[in-house]
Structure 1
């Protein structure tokens, strides 16, 4: 069992007002969604007390502040809300960001990631609803023009934004073992999870097509940074849980529309992490120059490029991934979740890629996009024609009526794993295997009583005004099942009708573990 989840920064634009600040439009997006869902003016303040974004797994902390800041939740660019499916929806820099709820299978991780697209589509409709009434959800600002949202990683002007993955790992395994075991895998897995990109180089100004949108922005093997000097391995030590576990924050991945690519992104990485924690040795796969190879793999559409290993031997990305599959599969059976399905699909994709990369265009993003590009090239359109960049962008449009990805799905040319109904359900209901269930149901039933929140706790106010902090540090806290058969979350939150009853039940649970404490008024 390994908890995991995703964080997606969506591209946002206003075609009718191209100079409008994306910070303002992103704030419109989150606030309109919040107001339309009945949260009204009450938007939960993000609680920074457990945040340590500059603490490094290697043992140092570039502490940004000595006291947790209190930020006005109504400020432009600060909009934040936990939503009933247990996810966080907020503004991050100049993007609306969706952080999925914690789950423990690759299938659920891919499903709840796709739910983010559904939520963003709802938010776009909510913004349009307010604007059509010639009013704004932001005081002092005009109504927001029509929005376009893209699930991609580049803006075409030199900037890249993230689609990050998060995996729980045991601190009993030295982080250096995890990092060194993962580097060759992360370099090679592009050939399965790449989203495809028109343009080469950070600015995208050199003509060509490459497999990954993120490859040109990776500059180091290991780094704490996420917006510059990005590393293949990110060392942020911010577990959002107890001290016995760490959270592997993965920034070397593309935002995927393909369900298969996303499913394998999570599933393959889970299998490799399982193998590393079981002391499977991958040291013979160490690369001589991994940063250089990230770009080389991304630009090799034939998948025949030989990566040079530290021992002097050479392997293709497919051959490296076969080694990882074999060793991970040998060390790890299907322990009750979806790993058997992952291994089968992983092997299938490698066989297809080896015979002909384009034979995966019904499964993978980069080959599906490349097939579209080549169809236009066959009509005489050059790769550096602006039309090609538009195809790239339209593929990642989340609007089913405009998206080239969704057009392929409708025509039966792209396989899906989840129906529209599955995704809509995940956008509305929390998973029942993590603390996200308690968080989501709390926001749905008693959101007006929640004053501030983060992944590890929620600050609430009782009906008589007293403040309490509810702790969800344990990722498995209050889940919708327990080994003893007691349905803790149901007893705690589904059976109560007031916030006071919930507070009372949590206080009775306090003992060996602390679930709630009273907070002195300021």
Structure 2
């Protein structure tokens, strides 16, 4: 398998309304989703989300949290009326979900099976949000969005990753071996932030936007008492075969290499865990405190103390994981698989740069590129880290508008290494990935959208004219419903009734 597995990214975007800092963000977020949906003819009935199989309070440790003690933000299986703008929720023809997640508009990418495709469809979400902002700009003063994870005033919002794993892998082994990796991973994948602490009041610069907001090692919550390892057990697939590892500790990446490494290296470490190939203890003595200490030290000198007494830098710990992965893929023969080879090449190259001179990774790593720009302003204008202008630059870095966002302008100027083309990203705005069930979902919305009553990750509900009962089409196997699997069937179907008949006969999804 190597680096290949079903995966995806959910990105909540920061939102603001010029001149109205106290505007209701849920209402604003609803306007974002609605503006995009209306521009593309997506009606509420066409894009409704099916919550029937959602179970956000099921814990991978073997129990369900009671609804009475759950924080309201955890109740993601509840929905309001169709005319409530704060509940706007649509499915796109690229297989993604665009909706209001409490106080933020969220783009949940379609399922992909390689880190490169994960990068492409995540960047497609940026174009979706750009278009929404552009359309809303016609009504001054206009809503704006930011692909970041902290507002600099004490609030954080997530960029979550999802990885399909074998159910047979003991969850305790996932916790044991993945926690140290997540503590260290931020030096490759952090997006950088001005200010230390959840409210950014302590002057300085740190590696990751999210690290200060984590409080515990393991838990079910995502908006309070945030855990390094999230235990939500909601597979959106055949439950006795799969688990969906829900990762909440990552930053929103702009740099292609960092985004590829975030997905790719994590997938490879999960391959090690599933194979039982980590036979040494890399357990960190104080994971939460160490996570934050590493984030606060852009020199990368902070030490991680392991329970066996060893002390390593984050880069040294990542080298150890890379060595274990390299040995494993060499033994299995997976190292020659192109997507695996690409991730290993960049993993080695970025670690070498970070080890030798962290600032030499400015083209590949978000936080390094951001720090280089901020330091140039500081050197030119003599600014200290508490200068509010630096915080303003930090926010503007992630502005989704291509003519305003600092990162966007630097990328256009060739200051960052690009791994995917603008044409690939543009095509992914409307077209689904071809190697997962997202292909069937996206094609259904494109070809038979008027018949789709509701959708979810693992099913579609359609209405056939002249038939009283609705039809649920299950999609419990994420690697079925691909272009090779259902493309000819969709091409041959003249209408939704014809398609349903063919599905009943062939059972392709």
Verify same fold: TM over 0.5. Answer: yes
Matched position secondary structure for 1:52: coil
1:424-443 matched pairs, under 5 angstroms: 424-443=426-445
Match of 1:105 in 2: 114
Partner residue of 2:382 out of 377, 380, 392: 380
Matched position secondary structure for 2:309: coil
CA distance in 2, matches of 1:152, 1:494: 40
Structure 1 residue 277, shift from structure 2 partner:
1.0
Match of 2:60 in 1: 57
1:58-457 matched pairs, under 5 angstroms: 58-64=61-67, 71-129=80-138, 131=139, 145-243=141-239, 244-281=241-278, 283-332=280-329, 333-334=334-335, 336-378=337-379, 379-457=381-459
CA distance in 2, matches of 1:239, 1:335: 30
Q: 1:263 to 1:70 in 2, by over 3 A?
A: closer
Matched position secondary structure for 1:219: strand
Structure 1 residue 171, shift from structure 2 partner:
1.4
Long gaps (5+) in structure 2 = 69-74
CA distance in 1, matches of 2:459, 2:62: 25
The answer as to whether partners of 2:98 and 2:108 remain within 8 angstroms in 1 is yes
Q: 1:287 to 1:41 in 2, by over 3 A?
A: closer
Q: TM-score, normalised by structure 1?
A: 0.91
| Deviation sequence 1:445-464 (CA, Å, 0-9, x none) | 11121112211111111122
CA distance in 1, matches of 2:481, 2:103: 34
| Deviation sequence 1:383-442 (CA, Å, 0-9, x none) | 111100011111111211111111211222211112222111111110000000000011
Match of 1:518 in 2: none
The answer as to whether partners of 1:278 and 1:331 remain within 8 angstroms in 2 is no
CA distance in 2, matches of 1:162, 1:282: 32
The answer as to whether partners of 1:297 and 1:317 remain within 8 angstroms in 2 is yes
Structure 1 residue 362, shift from structure 2 partner:
1.2
CA distance in 1, matches of 2:98, 2:108: 6
Structure 1 residue 334, shift from structure 2 partner:
3.1
Q: 1:382 to 1:98 in 2, by over 3 A?
A: same
Match of 1:136 in 2: none
Matched position secondary structure for 2:134: helix
Structure 1 residue 71, shift from structure 2 partner:
3.5
1:492 is the counterpart of 2:489: yes
CA distance in 1, matches of 2:195, 2:154: 11
CA distance in 2, matches of 1:352, 1:361: 9
Matched position secondary structure for 2:472: strand
The answer as to whether partners of 2:49 and 2:91 remain within 8 angstroms in 1 is no
CA distance in 1, matches of 2:78, 2:212: 35
Match of 2:39 in 1: 36
Matched position secondary structure for 1:104: coil
CA distance in 2, matches of 1:455, 1:419: 27
Greater RCO, 1 or 2 (C-alpha within 8 Å, sep 6+)? 2
Match of 2:5 in 1: 2
Structure 1 residue 381, shift from structure 2 partner:
1.2
The answer as to whether partners of 2:44 and 2:82 remain within 8 angstroms in 1 is no
CA distance in 1, matches of 2:447, 2:90: 14
Which deviates the most, 175-184 or 463-472?
Answer: 463-472
Structure 1 residue 63, shift from structure 2 partner:
4.6
CA distance in 1, matches of 2:476, 2:135: 33
Matched position secondary structure for 1:502: helix
The answer as to whether partners of 1:86 and 1:437 remain within 8 angstroms in 2 is yes
Long gaps (5+) in structure 1 = 132-143, 482-487, 516-522
Match of 1:11 in 2: 14
Partner residue of 2:24 out of 14, 21, 33: 21
RMSD: 1.7
CA distance in 2, matches of 1:89, 1:41: 12
CA distance in 2, matches of 1:228, 1:5: 23
- Say how many residue pairs are matched: 492
Q: 1:46 to 1:73 in 2, by over 3 A?
A: farther
